[in-house]
């Protein structure tokens, strides 16, 4: 109950932020020089009347604030407008493309967490030993290397040279297996999904992994120096338990914050990863929308990504509150 109340409270708090995002994107999209109508009509003879007619159809002839109000009232009904380029509702387009992006981002995070946390713990525990140095160097490479470049190199090695993994695309595990040729049953589908996901996941997850690893290591070092660890040692708790339980749990708190805060970096990175791996997600949709000057779609995507970020932050906040008993719902900044 408390949790529900807190969630609602946080969601309400997010409303002004979302409105702000809509204002920012609306202004950016409408103040710019790119004119969606002339782009649409490119290559056709366009009379003034035709331009007018189209402007009218999309409400482009009305003053900015009116258009904004219309847009926002539509938004309240879940209507993000109509994509000019695709001639489809923006919300439908986004729904189509949300899945792959979420799958990609979540798996990248899973990869990052699963690898970074043990590595960070080991590095902290073996501080200044070779293991520690090696993992720190690896983390340094991780935070310094562009994800798309990692992607290119991975494709060349694992897809082109070795032929082990596919170079692009994605299988969607939520589809019936029959929609893919040669796939019999869910197990095979999941296997194929995993094969397709592996390289983009690593490309996107490396930065997160390196970031998390660095934080994990620092936090573990700090946590291992904590008084409560001294106490546990003094009471004969085995080192292993201290590492895995006493020191570990406290050190995870900042990780949760990092995961939340880096979400927007990860979503941005997804744009690049989707491009390199030809994954048909929100990032690709965004690039198309930008290239076609489809401002309705751009706005919709930006709002959606902003919303996703806010939701992600709320989820991390809630998990923070769950893990850290000191946080009382609603009081944390």
What residues from 132 to 161 belong to the interface with other proteins (CB under 8 A)?
Answer: 140-141, 143-149, 152-153, 155-156, 159-160
Residue ranges in 37-66 that form contacts with other proteins under rule CB under 8 A: 38-39, 42-46
Of residues 74 and 254, the one with the C-beta less far from other proteins = 254
With CB under 8 A as the contact rule, the residue among 63, 240, 325, 331 that binds other proteins is 325
Q: Does 291 bind other proteins (CB under 8 A)?
A: yes
Q: Give the residues across from 89 on adjacent strands.
A: 82
Residue 257 lies near other proteins (rule: CB under 8 A): no
Q: How far is CA 285 from the centre of its chain?
A: 15
**What is the separation of C-alpha 324 from the centre of its chain, rounded to a whole number of angstroms?**
24
DSSP label at residue 292: T
Which stretches of the chain are DSSP H helices? 2-31, 36-40, 48-57, 64-76, 90-125, 130-144, 147-154, 185-224, 227-234, 239-241, 247-261, 263-277, 282-291, 295-323
Q: Using CA of residue 243, residue 214, residue 99, residue 181, what is the dihedral sign?
A: negative
Question: Binder to other proteins among 7, 68, 70, 180 (CB under 8 A)?
Answer: 180
Spatial contact of 203 and 273, defined as CB atoms under 8 Å apart: yes
Rule CB under 8 A: say whether 279 interacts with other proteins. yes
Q: Using CB under 8 A, which residues numbered 65 to 104 contact other proteins? A: 86, 96-97, 100
Q: Smallest distance, Å, CB 150 to other proteins? A: 9
- Residue identified by tokens 């292993």 is 240
Count of residues in contact with other proteins, rule CB under 8 A: 111
244 is an interface residue for other proteins by CB under 8 A: no
Q: Which stretch binds other proteins (CB under 8 A): 52-60, 76-84, 112-120, 188-196?
A: 188-196
Site string for other proteins, 4-23 (x = CB under 8 A): ------------xxx-xx--
């Amino acid at each position: 109950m408390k949790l529900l109340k807190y969630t609602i409270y946080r969601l309400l708090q997010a409303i002004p932020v979302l409105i702000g995002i809509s204002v920012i994107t609306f202004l950016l999209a409408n103040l710019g020089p790119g004119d969606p109508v002339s782009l649409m009509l490119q290559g056709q003879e366009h009379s003034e009347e035709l331009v007018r007619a189209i402007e009218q159809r999309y409400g482009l002839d009305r003053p900015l604030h009116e258009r904004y109000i219309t847009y926002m009232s539509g938004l309240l009904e879940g209507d993000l407008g109509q994509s000019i380029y695709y001639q489809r509702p923006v919300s439908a387009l986004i729904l189509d493309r949300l899945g792959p992006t979420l799958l990609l981002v979540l798996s990248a995070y899973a990869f990052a967490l699963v690898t970074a946390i043990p590595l960070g713990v080991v590095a902290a525990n073996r501080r200044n030993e070779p293991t520690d140095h090696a993992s720190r160097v690896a983390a340094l490479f991780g935070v310094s290397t562009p994800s798309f470049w990692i992607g290119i190199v991975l494709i060349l090695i694992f897809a082109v040279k070795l032929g082990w993994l596919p170079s692009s695309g994605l299988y969607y595990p939520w589809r019936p297996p029959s929609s893919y040729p040669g796939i019999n049953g869910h197990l095979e589908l999941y296997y194929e999904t995993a094969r397709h996901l592996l390289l983009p996941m690593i490309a996107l997850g490396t930065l997160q992994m390196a970031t998390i690893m660095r934080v994990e290591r620092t936090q573990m070092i700090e946590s291992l120096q904590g008084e409560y660890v001294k106490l546990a040692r003094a009471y004969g708790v085995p080192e292993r338990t201290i590492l895995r339980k006493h020191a570990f749990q406290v050190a995870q708190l900042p990780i949760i914050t990092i995961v939340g805060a880096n979400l927007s970096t990860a979503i941005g990175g997804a744009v690049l990863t989707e491009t390199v791996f030809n994954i048909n997600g929100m990032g690709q949709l965004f690039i198309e929308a930008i290239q076609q000057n489809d401002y309705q779609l751009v706005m919709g995507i930006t709002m959606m990504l902003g919303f996703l970020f806010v939701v992600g932050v709320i989820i991390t906040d809630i998990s923070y509150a769950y893990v850290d008993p000191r946080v009382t719902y609603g009081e944390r900044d």
